[in-house]
Structure formats: structure tokens, C-alpha cells
Chains A and B, each alone.
Chain A
Amino acid sequence: MEFLKSPPPPIRRLELEDPAAARRVAPPAHPANGNGSSAPGGFTGARRSIGAPQFSIRRMEIDDVSVSYSNRDAVKDVSLPVRQGEVLSLIGPSGCGKTTLLRSLNRLTELTSTAKLSGRILLDDVDITLIEPTLLRRRVTMVFQQPNPFPMSVFDNIAYVLREQGSRRQRKKTLEPAVHSALDRAGLFEEVKDNLDHPALKLSGGQQQRLCIARALAAEPEVLLLDEPCSALDPQSTQVIEDLIVKLRDDVAVVIVTHNLQQAYRIADHVAFMYLGDLVEYNSATALFGSPREKRTQEYVSGAFG
């Protein structure tokens, strides 16, 4: 019973000087931070001056695709076109199947043993299940949510793709132009040209993600898949990458999954809204954000849920 003799000291309570301050919510400092604004009116402002697409060619066709993980449906009967010259954005609350749909475009879902896919996905009118996965993944490359540069030098990260595609080990000199041009297309070359031999993991988060994009571009893909590429990045890096994505849309068909409605609004030409595995609405970005047809879309873009 010694604790009775020496009672524990009283707990000191922290007093808030202004109780209301705790409840006050700071306004988003930068539009990239906001996850949906208070009203659809938030999207009526001008889109970034990227201009309308110059052209658009249909490259991929998602036809009635369903994906399930051990009998749990993640994607249900989705049909969508993917066009070169445009940016297609998949939006929706987390767990709505948008990432799964993206992964099925280059057959990465096959790496999960429980995943089952039905329906057809066509790349240039060829069913992708008929294409060798490794060849398909060179034509349809992917950038992930978490920047995942390999634990090698910056140069080797890009050269890795080229070396593994060739049948013989190439010398560093012969790979240099290709590596430089990939870094250049990702807008990273100027920043890293003096330290190509530095470890890639020492780069900043935004640079790492652009390195991953450069790596994906080095494979000379036809379709580029981006899975929430900016969600781990600060606003500044986000803006750099968004500019880059828009710049790329003429060379490759771009599909981007994003959680960030402002981002979708800024860069996408077409937007697909998914909810619980269903494709709820597919429309041009201005139409979907400005005058959504479906009630669920309207609620989502106005920030009612998600």
C-alpha cells in the first residue's frame, strides 16, 4: 500500500486559451492541398491554360471489364476508351477500384494470385491477353504512388530498362543519349546532369517521382499509367509533375488515377468517376465537374463524401 503514502502527482491539464481555435479549420493554402471544394462552383474557374487537345487517337479500349479479388468485386463491368493526345483521369473515393482498373491495363493484376479478370482490354485492337506480359508492360508502363527508384545511381535507374531490353549488355557510352533524352522528357535532366552517378534514393521526393516517370518513358511506351503520382509529394513538385503530364499527352496516351479532384480538373481532358467498382460517369472534364449528370457524381465533386 505504499502508493497511498506517496500519491502520484496531480495531472496538469492543458488549458486552451481560445477553445474555438481548435475547431477552426485552416483554409487550404494551395489548391493542390484541397480535396474537393465546398461546391461545384469551385470548379468553374478557368482550367490551367493547357488548351484543348490538338488531336486524339483511340489507343486502348476497356470493354466490359470486371476484376475480383477472391470473389470480392473490385471493378464491375467498366467500359472506357483511352486516347492518345488526351489525359484520362480516374477519380473516386479510396477503395473504388480505380487503381485495380489501372493495374489491369498492363496485366499487373496478374501478380496478385487471387485476382480474376473478365472482359476484354484492347491495345490497338489487339486483346492484351494475347500479348506477352513483359512486352505489353514495355508498351504500357506504370508509375506508382510511392516513388520507387531502384537502389542504384540515377543513370543506372534509367539504363536498367534499356539494358534489360537489349539482348547484350551495352556499354555506358552507347546508352548515354537514350538516358539523357528520357531524363530530359521528364524534365529532370537539368537538375541531375552533374550527378548522374549519385544514388537515386538521395534525390528529393519530387525528383524521385520524375525519375520514375523518366524510367517509364525510357521504355518508349505507348500508354503511360500513373497511380496517384503526386499523393506523396509537396505542392511544388506536384505542379512540376502536372505540367509534365500535360506535356506528355501528345506522345503517349496518359491515364492518371487521382484522389485529388482539383488535380483531375487541372490536367484531365476526360474524367471517369468510379464508385464501389462501378463506373458512374464518364465525360469531359469540364462537363463532369461543371454539370454532372449523376447525383452521386455531383455529391462527390461537391465534397459531400469521399
Chain B
Amino acid sequence: MDASVATPPAAPPPASAPQRPAKGAVEGSATWRLSDRIGLAICWALGLLFCAIAVAITVYLFIQGIKFLKPSMLVTPAAAGFSQTETGGFSDALVGTLILAVMGISLALPTGVAIAVWLVEYGRPTALARITESTIEAIAGIPSIVLALFGTVIFSSTALGFLSRSNEGVVFGRSFFAAAAMLSLVALPLIVASTREGLNSIPPHVREASYTVGKTKAATTRRILLPASRPQVATGAMLGLGRIIGDTAIIVVLLGATQNFAPVEDVPFPLNFLRGAGTTLTNFVYEASPTGNLNQPQKAYAAAFVLLLMVLALNGAVDVVHRRARKVGTWSS
């Protein structure tokens, strides 16, 4: 060993800071009591059960979907008819889902990010910050059916008649606008939570560095903090999207429970559609199931399959965002 005293260590060995014990590092079972071992067996059993359920759901819906989904269903709207061949497809539902996803997220994303920024970066007075936190938490816990009922009250008011079909002072209160507004509330807590997580993970010295060069808080937030927490914002947005396209209760109550678009007359495009009633995939699946009004299980399977593909795509997107964020790295705190 001829290393000179003065040379610093080439690569520092692991620091003595506590490390999380590695997962494989389970001691021999001699000191594991019987109950401990049974517990671990339950862990394995339940873990495998979860996998089995997920696989069963996916495989079953894929089989049924491929069997019953015909490309024509995606482009033909639902129609009245006596047999399943006459009743068309669910193009209106598919388009409705997409419209609501876009509208809902474009309402929820800016609002959610703004609230999170206020909570993390400003948060004064403290009492208001605490109330806001509890409010967001409360919104996450409110059943969407209650939100939907509340929506019927606001959007039936004459003041908001311009957002839905209104006839001689009687406001219908059910439209894409109404549903999107309430759906954005469903997505809001997820976006706020995720954005906050992102902002909180940025160490304070980064903010200080930006203030030092004379940036305002607003500019720092916009130019440094939000770009740095983009992965978390994106994750929140995608989780929110998942909730929006997956929600049924609000659609059934606030979109009018029709099977087709019902545009409002004498209003320019696209407002005529957005002010009118409509349907989405979730609503279509509900109505086409044996408990619904249509009772066409085959088309319900087909629509559910399309819906599942959307959910899988969103999940995949979240994965990609996570992996990219990990590759970019972050500040040490």
C-alpha cells in the first residue's frame, strides 16, 4: 500500500448517515416466531392476490373488448333501435369524454397549481392557509354525488343560465360546462397535493439563490420553482385526468343522461354543444349495463375496454414522467 498520506480518498465509501436497510437483508428465520412467519406468508399471499386481480381484470376486459369492439362503434353515435345491431356505437360518448377531460383539466390545473403555489410560497395569513389546507382535504373527501347535487343548484340559477340550456327563464342546469366545473373540483385536490409535494421538495437555498440575483418571488416561482416541479405537476394533472374520465356520478347528474349530444339551438359552434347535454364513456357503460336503461352488455364491454385503454395510457404516462424526472436528477438539500 503505497498511497501517499496527502492523497484524498479516491471515492468516498458510503457515509455513516443511517441508511434504509436493504430489502433482501432479512435475517435467518431462527428468531422468527411462528406468527412472524405466518405474517410474511400473508404478505406474499395478498401481494400475489392483488396481482391476480389486476391481471384478471385486464385480461378479461381485453378479451371481451376485442371480441365486441368494432371500429364502427367508435365513429357511429348511439341510436334508438330494437336489437344491438341497430343501436349504433358510442362515438358521442367517446367525444364527450375527451371534451370533458380537456375542459375539466384546463379548469383544475391552473387553479390547483395556483392554490399550491399560494400555500407553499405565500401562505399568509397562517389561519387562511390552514383553512385552505383543510378545505382541499375536505373536497377530496366529499362524495362526487354530493358535488353533483350541489352543481344542479348553482347551474340552475338564472344568473348562470348562459352555461346551459335555458327556456323562458327556466334553466336546465345540465351541460358540459356544468359537469366540467364540478369535475374540476374532483381533480383539484390531487393536483394541489402533487404540486405542493413538488414545490416542497425544492430546497430553500434554491429560492434564496434566485432572490439574491434580484428576482421577485413571482418570477422565481414562474421561472424556477414551477419548471423544477414539472414532473409532480404533470403527475397530479394525470391523476386528476384519471378521476375526471372515470367519474360517473357527476356525469349522470350534470350532463343530462342523454345518449347523444343535445346541442342548444341558435348558438354558434362550439358553444351550442358545450351548453347542451351529452354523454361520456362512463355514462354509456352505466346505461348499457344490465342495470341501466339500454342493457346492451356487449357494447358496455366494448366501451369499458376503450375506457380501460385510456386509463392504462394515463398510467403509462405517469410512469414515463417519473422515470424522466429520476433521470434529470435534483438538488441536494
Contact = CB atoms under 8 A, between A and B. Distances in A.
Interface in B7-23: 9, 11-14, 16-19, 21-23
Interface stretch (B25-33, B68-76, B216-224): B25-33
A94 B28 CA distance: 33
A275 B24 CA distance: 31
Given A8-B214, A72-B11, A296-B5, A144 B28 contact: no
Interface residues of A, number: 37
Interface string A292-305: 00011001100011
Nearest to B13: A74
Interface stretch (A128-136, A196-204, A242-250): A128-136
B3 interface: yes
Contact of B31 (A135, A145, A148): A135
Interface stretch (A48-56, A110-118, A178-186, A213-221): A110-118
Interface in A111-161: 111-113, 132-135, 144-146, 148
A61 interface: no
A174 interface: no
Among A275, A276, A278, chain B packs the most CB atoms within 10 A around the CB of: A276
Interface stretch (A34-42, A81-89, A95-103): A95-103
B18 A111 contact: no
B131 interface: no
Contacts of B25: 110-113
Interface residues of B, number: 24
Contacts of B14: 69, 74, 100, 112
Contacts of B33: 167
A227 interface: yes
B146 interface: no
B22 A111 contact: yes
A63 interface: no
Among B3, B14, B16, chain A packs the most CB atoms within 10 A around the CB of: B16
Among B22, B33, B214, chain A packs the most CB atoms within 10 A around the CB of: B22
A135 to B, nearest CB: 7
Contact of B18 (A69, A74, A148, A295): A148
A201 to B, nearest CB: 15
29 contacts: A8-B214, A69-B13, A74-B13, A76-B1, A95-B9, A96-B9, A97-B13, A99-B16, A111-B19, A111-B22, A112-B19, A112-B22, A113-B22, A113-B25, A132-B27, A132-B28, A133-B28, A134-B27, A134-B31, A135-B30, A145-B16, A146-B18, A148-B18, A227-B16, A276-B3, A276-B9, A296-B5, A300-B5, A305-B6
Interface of A: 8, 69, 72, 74, 76, 93-97, 99-100, 110-113, 132-135, 144-146, 148, 167, 227-228, 275-278, 295-296, 299-300, 304-305
